[in-house]
Amino acid sequence: MRPRYASGPATQHSILLHDVKKCCFHCKGSVTIYCRVILRSAPPMHLLPSKISLVHFVVFTLLLVGLIPLLLTGWSLSDRSASELRAVENRYQIQLVQEKARQIEMFGQRYGDLVKNLSGALELSDDLGVLSAPQTEQKLSETLQKDQNLLALYLKPVGTEALSLYRPGSIAKEELESIATEALASSGTADLFSGPPRRSAASGESVMAMVSQVNVDNRSIASVVAIVSLRDVARSVVGTDSQSEDELWAAGLPIIFVVNQAGRAIFHPDARLIDSQRVLTDLKIVDEWQQSNSQIQSGLVPFTADFGGSSYDMIGAYSTVRFGSNTTFGVITMQDERKALASVGEMRSQTWMISLAFAFCAMLIGSIAARLLTKPLVNLSAAAEKIAMGDLSTRVETVSFTELGTVGRSFNLMSDKLEEHIASLAKAATENRELFVGTVKALAAAIDGKDKYTRGHSERVARISVGIGKQLGLGAVELETLRISALLHDVGKIAIDDAILKKPAALTDAEFEVMKTHPQKGYKIMSQIPAMKDFLPGMYMHHEMVNGKGYPQGLSDKQIPLQAKIVSVADTFDAMTIDRPYQKGMLLPDALERIKSLIGTRYDAKVVEALVRGCQSGEIAQGIVRFLNENKDTAGLVNNRTAAAPPVPDTEAELVSS
């Protein structure tokens, strides 16, 4: 079974000047050597260094000895500093939240004691009538005036009217009664109850109600309610400057805030979070406090937070504040770890700057010293590279050092011998190529010479194929491969009976079947030679058709290599324009029209278009004329008549019997 060739252009080889790829000539039938040398211009060959240069080695050694220890020491010290600074920062965070929590607890204890003392005084008097005494109201008013955070006092006996005293402008009477009534309803029988913080409508400040019961004989006879302002304690905890959340994250400073058990902000530098009652449980540290505040008083929580589309590694801590028996707050502080440890980054930057400065000095000194030491070797290496790129005239100057001088003289001697050898090899390669091409031409001529009507056919097909290839933009290597393949396309006819080859009339069907075997016979002959692999497609498949009805394999369009498509068109074009025993050759325009009519069935459109362009430009026609001028005995076979050509036979045998 014959192999099938993949479609597409022939494999491109890059063969440089003096590059001997293969050698081939036949020596008494015993040894077959194939030599193929294509001389063309090529870009300089860049050699990759297989070893590091001595200059680089000296510089690298200086850097390794001096720079690496410096970097390791600086990095180790900065890591240790970072660890210590992180520990200090953690302790600071814990101490900070504990201090803030203590301030809030002292604030709550102060006003808790206030309402409990008032309820205790009423319990001792055991007479609620004192509430209506002028002295009582005066004393309570004095207490209210002395404490700026105490906004109102509300004393409510059971079953009678309440006594209320408040600071005008800070809270209205109606709001006082509303807050007190709500707190009394929620307090139950608790000894000390703290209501939730809320915003005062009159002053806009956060206020809180604290309730204590007046108990006589285990029964409540009255309640004392104090409305206190949280303004001062809030400023003490979160600071006096109001900043937006964006500004806080951008600054990278510690953010301190207080949340209630629901995770809503009670104190925060951004008042909008307090007003909107935003839940801050999306911060891991708030969620951690909610889950553990009943068991853990204070904790340190490193975590990652997302804000504004960016992710931050945070250092955070929390501490729990208890107000009375029913209210719990969490004091939270957190800071961007990168900003907290900024000094470590600065230390590392300084280490890098010092290291880079040292590296620059080491490289400068090392380069100067290394170049002085390695200049002779560099010159020798440059000369060797020039020789490797083909400049065999390069020589090196001998140096004063004995060892290097010996190397230089040996190198120059080697260059002389190498130049002589390469020149001899190039001459032999050129002669071998000429011998190979001459052998191929002789073989093609021998095949064509079996019939006077096909004499010179292979050479003409080769010239036409090269003309088509040029129109298709093939490279020099592909064109040479195409030319050899076209010269040998009919080599299989050497095994066809002369009676069939030289028959003066059209072939019978049986004879045509025999004739159709010449591609296989040519393939069988040439495939035994490994060096002929690139030329086989044109020999073996030049009778294939794009519609799949050709022979010997019945390949279709994309299965047929470009080389075979070109040889097929060139073969038919020459056969059409040459006189045969059974028909006269066609005129050039008629032949082109006939071939164009077979596009899509037998021939590839691009190849036929290239043939037409070659004929119109005169390149193909001029090539044929030059060949005929060189071969006068075959000139009469080509039809240059101006009269109309006879009808063209349609049979496959008559059209492609060549």
User: DSSP letter string over 365-409?
Assistant: HHHHHHHHHHHHHHHHHHHHHHHHTT-TT------SSHHHHHHHH
Q: Are 318 and 288 in contact (CB under 8 A)?
A: yes
Angle at which helices 402-448 and 342-388 cross, to 10°: 60
DSSP-derived 3-state class of residue 653:
helix
| Residue for token pair 């076979």 | 637
Determine how many CB atoms are found less than 10 A away from the CB of residue 476.
13
The reported pLDDT for the residue numbered 452 is 61
Determine how many CB atoms are found less than 10 A away from the CB of residue 28.
5
Percent of the chain with pLDDT over 70: 80
CATH of domain 241-340: 3.30.450.20
Instruction: Report the C-alpha gap between 164 and 147 in whole angstroms.
Output: 16
Residue 329 has pLDDT above 80, yes or no: yes
DSSP state, residue 638? B
Instruction: Report the C-alpha gap between 171 and 201 in whole angstroms.
Output: 7
Residue 88 has pLDDT above 80, yes or no: yes
Q: How many residues does this entry show for the chain?
A: 658
User: Which residues of the chain does CATH 3.30.450.40 include?
Assistant: 126-233
Q: What is the mean pLDDT of the chain?
A: 78
Kindly indicate the confidence band of residue 419, based on its pLDDT and cuts at 50, 70 and 90: confident
Kindly indicate the confidence band of residue 1, based on its pLDDT and cuts at 50, 70 and 90: very low
Residue 19 has pLDDT above 70, yes or no: no
Cis amide prior to 552 (ω within 30 degrees): yes
Instruction: Report the C-alpha gap between 326 and 45 in whole angstroms.
Output: 87
**Which residues are CB-neighbours of 386 under 8 A, at least 6 positions away?**
394
Pick from 502, 526, 528: nearest CA to 515: 502
Pick from 341, 370, 342: nearest CA to 60: 370
Sign of the four-CA dihedral 538, 539, 541, 543: positive
Cβ contacts of 583-592, under 8 Å, gap ≥ 24: 583/646, 583/648, 583/649, 583/654, 584/639, 584/641, 584/645, 584/646, 585/637, 585/638, 585/639, 585/645, 586/639, 586/645, 586/648, 587/639, 587/641, 587/642, 587/644, 587/645, 588/615, 588/621, 590/645, 590/648
- Structure token digits, residue 460: 């003409």
451-656 homologous superfamily: Hypothetical protein af1432 (1.10.3210.10)
Residue 650 has pLDDT above 50, yes or no: no
CA distances from 355 to 342, 346, 542 (A): 20, 14, 71
Higher pLDDT, 616 or 367: 616
In DSSP terms, 86 is beta-bridged to none
Determine how many CB atoms are found less than 10 A away from the CB of residue 449.
12
Instruction: Report the C-alpha gap between 128 and 574 in whole angstroms.
Output: 135
- Structure token digits, residue 458: 């292979």
Instruction: Report the C-alpha gap between 460 and 489 in whole angstroms.
Output: 12
Higher pLDDT, 27 or 97: 97
Q: Are 163 and 139 in contact (CB under 8 A)?
A: no
User: Which residues of the chain does CATH 3.30.450.20 include?
Assistant: 241-340
DSSP-derived 3-state class of residue 65:
helix
- Dihedral over alpha carbons 115, 119, 124, 125 (to 10 degrees): 110
The reported pLDDT for the residue numbered 566 is 94
The reported pLDDT for the residue numbered 613 is 92
Mean pLDDT across 401-430:
78
Determine how many CB atoms are found less than 10 A away from the CB of residue 468.
32
The reported pLDDT for the residue numbered 468 is 94
**Which residues are CB-neighbours of 357 under 8 A, at least 6 positions away?**
none
- Structure token digits, residue 199: 């915003």
Q: Name which of 176-190, 202-216, 369-383 the model is least confident about.
A: 369-383
Cβ contacts of 155-159, under 8 Å, gap ≥ 24: 155/118, 155/122, 155/131, 155/222, 155/223, 155/224, 155/225, 156/180, 156/184, 156/222, 156/223, 156/225, 157/128, 157/131, 157/221, 157/222, 158/220, 158/221, 158/222
Higher pLDDT, 13 or 333: 333
Pick among 3.40.50.740, 3.40.50.300, 1.20.1260.10, 3.30.450.40: CATH of 126-233: 3.30.450.40
Residue 408 has pLDDT above 80, yes or no: no
- The pair phi, psi for residue 477, each rounded to 5°, is -65, -45
**Which residues are CB-neighbours of 10 under 8 A, at least 6 positions away?**
478, 481, 482, 534, 537, 561, 562, 563
Pick from 192, 186, 226: nearest CA to 209: 226
CA distances from 207 to 151, 166, 194, 309, 396 (A): 9, 13, 11, 35, 96
DSSP state, residue 655? H
Q: Are 497 and 551 in contact (CB under 8 A)?
A: no
User: Which residues of the chain does CATH 1.10.3210.10 include?
Assistant: 451-656
DSSP-derived 3-state class of residue 616:
helix
Instruction: Report the C-alpha gap between 198 and 152 in whole angstroms.
Output: 15
Residue type, 393: S
Mean pLDDT across 244-258:
88
Residue type, 573: F
Q: Tell me the longest C-alpha to C-alpha distance in the chain.
A: 153
The conformational region for residue 214 under phi > 0 = left, psi -120 to 50 = alpha, else beta, is: beta
**What is the per-residue pLDDT across 154-205, written as a single tens digit (0 to 9) for each?**
988 887 888 888 888 888 888 888 998 898 888 887 788 888 888 888 888 8
Mean pLDDT across 568-596:
85
**Which residues are CB-neighbours of 423 under 8 A, at least 6 positions away?**
none
Residue 77 has pLDDT above 50, yes or no: yes
Percent of the chain with pLDDT over 90: 18
CA distances from 77 to 57, 70, 169, 293, 343 (A): 29, 11, 60, 38, 13
- Structure token digits, residue 556: 């279709």
